Amino acid sequence: MKNAIEKSDFVLTPYMKSNDFRATYQILNTVVPYLFLWFLAVKAAAISLWLLPPIVMLMTLFSVRCFSLMHDCGHYSLFNSKKVNRIVGFMLGVINAIPQYPWSRGHAYHHKTNGDWERYRGPTGLASTEEFAQLSPLNQKLYELRMHPLMSIPGGFFYLAIKPRLSLILGIHGFIGHLFTYLKENSDIKLSKIFSSYKSRNWYTTAEFWDLLFNNICVVSGWIILSHFLGVGFFLGIYSIVLTFSAAIFLLVFFVQHIFEGTYAHKTAGWNYLVGALEGSSYLEFPPILKWFTADIGYHNIHHLSERIPNYNLEACHQENIHLLSQVKTLRISDIPGCSKFILWDSATNSLISIESFRQRDRFKVRTQCHPQSISLGIEKLQQD
């Protein structure tokens, strides 16, 4: 992309205005149907289990929409008030079992570094070609398996149901160890110093810890209460399916929005934020019903130009600036399997490549090193011809 285009060329400011009425309506038309579907599932199960699949499918889609609206709250764009965004975001996080504030802080880092593949390796932590080459054959196969699109199913369940609980347990365990070490080394006991001197890998700030703690209290309490009233098998069965597949959907969507052939994958030196937004983010063309359930997150290039644009203004902003978006990659659902091939970052070419391409290039280098004479003779023959 040529640097002739500047961010100031885009009309963004009018679309950055939040609308509390529209935001409230979105919350109501998402959370109320989701809760009603749980009620419907209980009634349907009493009649026939065969009535459950379409209900569970709808619950999964509404769960995806809850996550998308939570994502907007994390950018403080859904509502005008920062406080309201935090409160509603926390509630939506409880629905999907994910601590909203720690997630949104990590997601903000993704926005700041999109396209800078030295600092941020994408949602799944892609390996560089150098790192992949150093792996044993077994570990290379395990890496390929981990990056397979179908792994988003167990990965999605772990991401929502297990990881936040595990993070809290590991963080508290680390704090207890830190507490004993501090008491041994210091005679002056001050709680403020004990807490401030503890640096956890599971949260970065005190605010993140409290959000993680209260999310876990609400989520686990909800599991216990609903298991008691609905039955452990019924509740956990339905809930696990909904959580697993909704997480798998938004993990795949997030993946394909940044990982595709020709995406902007630069080193830190010379990295450009605007190019990262336009060429490192795709426009994912969804049918209308999926646009609604994903809250228009398919307009991801616009979202990266300004994360303060609420979802209900993304399409209009896209149309307003469409003449400047010729370099943006347009993808469809059918393109997702093809995108999943590009899982290695090649710093030499500032691009993502497939493992197959990497191995072909590696074999060519070996042949060139082993038979330099035959290569040069072949070149001479081509020149003569």
Render each residue's pLDDT in the chain as its tens digit; 385 residues.
445 789 999 999 999 999 999 999 999 999 999 999 999 999 999 999 999 999 999 999 999 999 999 999 999 999 999 999 999 999 999 999 999 999 999 999 999 999 999 999 877 889 999 999 999 999 999 999 999 999 999 999 999 999 999 999 999 999 899 888 888 887 777 777 777 778 888 888 889 999 999 999 999 999 999 999 999 999 999 999 999 999 999 999 999 999 999 999 999 999 999 999 999 999 999 999 999 999 999 999 999 999 999 999 999 999 999 999 988 999 998 898 899 999 999 999 999 999 999 998 877 666 666 555 554 554 454 445 4
Tokens of 280: 């490192």
Write down the pLDDT at residue 1: 43
| DSSP letter for each residue of 299-356 | BHHHHHH-TTS-HHHHHHHHHHTGGG-TTSPEE-GGGHHHHTT--EEETTTTEEE-HH
Strand partners, 351: 346
∠ CA 130-133-136, rounded to 5°: 140
Write down the pLDDT at residue 143: 95
Write down the pLDDT at residue 89: 97
Contact 171, 203 (CB under 8 A): yes
CB atoms within 10 A of CB 177: 11
Write down the pLDDT at residue 53: 96
- The whole-angstrom separation of Cα 171 and Cα 102 is 13
Q: Measured between alpha carbons, how far is residue 292 from residues 19, 54, 285, 331, 335 in Å?
A: 17, 18, 12, 17, 20
Write down the pLDDT at residue 371: 57
What's the one-letter identity of residue 149? P
Write down the pLDDT at residue 379: 43
